[in-house]
A = this chain, B = another copy of it.
């Protein structure tokens, strides 16, 4: 009987590469610059780990801020220090690519609450001298973006040429447009929505319960206990991963194909290729991600609802915006279906904002925003070129 725990490495090694080793540049905000949180508390001091690509021009008008998704990080266009894999959007960002680093200065920071160098639940709480764990206040998407604006201030940038992000990154892009309309010339929210749906909250809750059901979670204090809730986090990742794909893509890639066999094993090993694939997704994830960070970031997504702050009227959130918007959805994405993007487009239309919208036909589901989708790349390239021209960028 092989269960997901079996392939884990030596438990004493714990798998998780500690996030606090500085693999990126880190911006530190001291006691004089607290981050004010929606929960009512302040976070201070705090740190933001970030990467940049390309050069900031003389008038600081060519900066593009990239917001990462739930389990992403700042290594958007450079090798990941833990997995060794290329940056998660290196197909889009780089010299000569749609986000051309020969033209633009690209900034991507690990969101607060995460685990790749920015302050999160695994960071040391100065009040106690031990990891925050659940003593870190619950964070929101607006909190993340507020921290990003402080980073941009430090970098001396008044206005971003563009904010781009997919999924949770798209939520941040929308939040930038709402919270700092004068600071974003253009906004590209991809595969996202203005609020998290009931179904999405439900799947996140399943994942959180899987983590918290693992006795090694220890009320969140696993780091001090020298352990990790690997099994629970792997189950959470597996459940989430199914929602990132489409039924059609699963059928095409795996169907009912069996694993190394031409007949059923009549046991509980991974008989089907899809089972083996999911187990792999679960076991590799725990090596690079912190379980409490997973709780915090899923919670931030669940809380996200732009309209709620504006009496339920989404259009009000965008009133007066001068930014140019380009929304992208993927036809087989059932986590953030096209209707969610359309709702944003309608709200932007209602306030006469400049908005483009494209639904990319694909069977790859929500994951499509991270995959090779030439039509998506072309749409992004076209929008950015046009916006750059309008902004007077060379």
Residues of A within 8 A of B (CB): 1, 3-5, 38-40, 134, 137-138, 195-199, 201-203, 205-206, 208-210, 212-215, 219-220, 231-232, 234-235, 238-239, 242, 245, 247, 250-251, 253-256, 264, 266-268, 270-272, 274-275, 278-279, 282, 295, 299, 302-303, 305, 308, 334, 337
Name A339's closest neighbour in chain B (CB-CB): B247
Instruction: Identify 30 residue pairs between A and B in the complex whose beta-carbon atoms are under 8 Å apart, listed by A's number.
Output: A1-B220, A3-B212, A38-B266, A39-B266, A40-B266, A138-B266, A138-B267, A196-B256, A198-B250, A198-B254, A198-B274, A199-B242, A199-B250, A201-B256, A201-B272, A201-B274, A202-B274, A202-B278, A205-B270, A205-B272, A206-B235, A206-B238, A208-B268, A213-B214, A213-B231, A239-B239, A247-B337, A256-B308, A264-B303, A334-B334
| Cα of A234 to Cα of B205 in the assembled complex, Å | 12
When the two chains form the complex, which single residue of B4, B215, B305 contacts A256, counting CB atoms closer than 8 Å? B305
Are A255 and B198 interface neighbours, CB within 8 A?
A: yes
A212 proximity list for chain B (CB < 8 A)? 1, 3-4, 268
Are B209 and A282 interface neighbours, CB within 8 A?
A: yes
| Cα of A234 to Cα of B210 in the assembled complex, Å | 9
Are B275 and A205 interface neighbours, CB within 8 A?
A: yes
Are B201 and A275 interface neighbours, CB within 8 A?
A: yes
A38 proximity list for chain B (CB < 8 A)? 266
A239 proximity list for chain B (CB < 8 A)? 203, 206, 239
A197-B256, A198-B253, A202-B274 given; name 5 further pairs at CB < 8 Å. A198-B250, A205-B272, A210-B213, A268-B299, A272-B302
Interface centre among A199, A208, A245, A279 (most CB of B within 10 A): A199
A39 proximity list for chain B (CB < 8 A)? 266
| Cα of A109 to Cα of B138 in the assembled complex, Å | 49
A210 proximity list for chain B (CB < 8 A)? 210, 213, 235
Name A6's closest neighbour in chain B (CB-CB): B212
CB proximity of A116 to chain B, nearest CB, Å: 22
A40 proximity list for chain B (CB < 8 A)? 266
| Cα of A196 to Cα of B191 in the assembled complex, Å | 28
Are B3 and A213 interface neighbours, CB within 8 A?
A: yes
When the two chains form the complex, which single residue of B220, B251, B270, B279 contacts A198, counting CB atoms closer than 8 Å? B251
Name A208's closest neighbour in chain B (CB-CB): B268
Are B213 and A4 interface neighbours, CB within 8 A?
A: yes
Interface centre among A201, A215, A264 (most CB of B within 10 A): A201
| Cα of A244 to Cα of B208 in the assembled complex, Å | 20
